[in-house]
Structure 1
Amino acid sequence: MPPYSAPKPSEAALNASYRQGYTRLCPVDVPRLVDVARAALRLHPSTIPVTGLRILGAGVFNKVFFMQFGSIAVIARVPFNTPARAARDPVRLISQIATLDFLSIHIPTVPVPKVLAASPDSQNPPCAPYVIAEFCKGTPLTIQEWYTDMSVTSRGRAIDLLAEMWVKITAPVPFKTIGSIMRGMSRKDGAGDSPVFRIMPMIPQYPQEWTALLDPSTETRPGPRSIANHWAARMKEQCDDIMATFPDQDHSVLIVDGCARGSQHTLGKLWQCVRAMQELTDIAVFLDPLAHAPAMALMHADYSCWRNILFSADRTRIEGVVDWDDAIVIPRDLAALYPEELTHEAGSWRVDPPDVFAIPPGTLYEDEGLWETAIEETKQRRMFREAVGRRDPQLAGLYTDRRARLRRRVDILVRDGWSAWLEQDKWVLGQGLEEARALARSGG
């Protein structure tokens, strides 16, 4: 690769242009990253100069660089290396790339950026892992636009587009195991080499400071063949973590849950929640509404038109769906979820909330606006379900099936871990357990 000759700003300089006071570094050698992009596009640096180079956006886990080569534009996603080191886990990055490749081949009606070049580790000239991909046109909706500027008709059209795209994303996929997508060995067919995809155990979603790096051998192992095995493995991880965190097992010791207000509970209460969660998972396994016609689906973990859904300028088309970092393959009933915009005032069960039809008696005047928003979002979720139903009645039915709803809530709790069990202790020890037992008695 020829050396980068033209003077270009450092990452720190691009930060200053991106946002006042923004200083977070990946770090990455930006000129070398540009060289990689040019090589991927097969452009000669002496004839096709970079006419645009800037930071397009920065989230919790990644920074996105925008590069314009004449009429050709690409983006480079580079994960931060702190504080969540797992965001740079090579296995995680390899799975992200494989997911995009799978979508482009097997679900081509979902507009995703085509990967042009990638490196899952820092052993490369830019000195950081990266994914360089085609630039998807379009822009996300803004919060101001969604709540204030859009007419009721325009918002309804956007909801219909979101539903249409979700049906495409969550269509049944040809996998029989649960987890994250990886590339397998290519096979020969009449058209040449044909990529093969497989499923490895699920990569922990939303890496935090304490998220451990994956054992490299994980990449070679198959994912669990049933939700029972998946939940059992996760439950064991949580029990082991509790034992390691509280080795003395003093049941009177106080623990702070994951709620923003930090409620306190005893270790004894936590072990009550553990036993209840074990019963909930045991029951939920047998409440599968698709038991007679099993189906797996790919799920985008952060389906939000404020961030990851790119609309055309006139808001009549979806131009791109981006940020597939935490996409997973799961039983299809667990994928019957809503876009974030329809659950903003949903409370505890953010992605799969209860409906709200009236402001509760005694509500303070200053809180009435939040309840009015929750009522409006209930109407929007009904519109979303109806739009899904026009395209996929099976998927639409899973939104209101009591068995599927219970399984989704159990899955959310299993995913989020024991701190969430304490935060939701009233549901875990009371309402949820009662509902699970009632569904089990009635046969669903």
Structure 2
Amino acid sequence: MTTNLQRPKRGKMVNGFDPAQADALDARTREMVDRRARLLGPAYRLFYANPVEFAHAEGVMMYDSDGNEYLDAYNNVVSVGHCHPHVNAAVKAQMDKLCTHTRYMQDGILDYAEMLLDTFEKDIAHVMFTCTGSEANDLALRMAKYHTGNEGIIVTSEAYHGNSELTSGFSPSMGENSRLGTWVRRVPAPDTYRVAAENMGEWLAAHVAEQIHDLQRRGQGLAAFVADSLFSSDGIFANDPELLTPVLKVVRDAGGIFVADEVQCGFARTGSDMWGYQRHRVVPEIVTMGKPMGNGYPVAGIAVQSHICEAFGHDMRYFNTFGGNTVAMAAARATLEVIQNENLMENARKTGAVLMEGLRDLAKADARIGDVRGTGLYMGVEMVKDRATRDPDSALALALVNEMRARRVLISATAANANVLKIRPQLCFSTDHADRFLTELKGALASVTT
């Protein structure tokens, strides 16, 4: 048993509320914080130094219990906008009709599967459905291990791939108290801000090869290299769009496969391609999806090449009580219809360009901004103490996150040092919303000194 004296420091969470500061909150908020702790226990976390309670939302706006409006530049789960009427209507209509699982014949899952597979390369032939991205990554890794006969997994240094026993075991960003599997190896993220690599792809491939060698020496071999192709939890690196080609050659030469985790970077987020990995001009063996897939309804899954799942499907059965249920498929199909019919990929490109230009203008005027990077509607703004040394400034980044919350704009932070502002709005974010965001960030930068 772990005693109080032996207990490690509180579990890591970027932009997390510190319960020790509860006395500074207003009476209503403090009461809710205390009630959460009493009913839900200590493992749950809240955002922001001053937590916020939301009552309703629409589009890119959220409203607190007093009716105050917040610009949401963070929640990609509702990828096509909060409470989108087309998605909500599809869910209600199906719920009014039938909600059942995949062991009965149904057109809905087949219609959506065809629609979804049309967004992938022809080599990717099958889809399988889960409820969460964690389940999708769990299934992908089971399949990768079965196909290759190997155990080893390689991820980037601050990756996040899920919260199940398996997936938390290869999610370093869960913090030091969350143990990594003995079959897991980490490689540095392709940090285009700090690493002066003439060919970043070859640089990353060399690190991967080193870890493959270690796995092979220990008799584990390589099952999969797993990566979010925008390296979201590592700090959002999108400046070298074809770096995965040499990495995957090393991976495949060692008998491993590539699992592209598209939970954060997929579904038109990049503004240039439907899937983040497509910016790298590669084709994964398995693609995992989640969060934005049903615009808030729990639906996730994998897309997989036939030869990867052939033996797995022959030797085992797969069933998920809620994965692929009729209502989930209605939500997923309606969400994809909105992305395509409302041309949200192009909107992500156009609005993202406005955001990027504005952020770079702010960087020219403020030396605390060390780097601005991203693509489409996914941006990272790295805060530093000194541009010459590029020392990360975590305190400044978190102060800005909380100042933006005070100005009723929602963002968060990411990276190992929590010094990168994470900007990830809904795909319907307009140029007017971008202008408002930039105005408030400029004001926040002027207000915050550390």
TM-score interval, smaller chain:
under 0.3
**Normalising by the residue count of structure 2, what TM-score does the alignment of the two structures yield?**
0.25
Structure with greater Cα Rg: 1
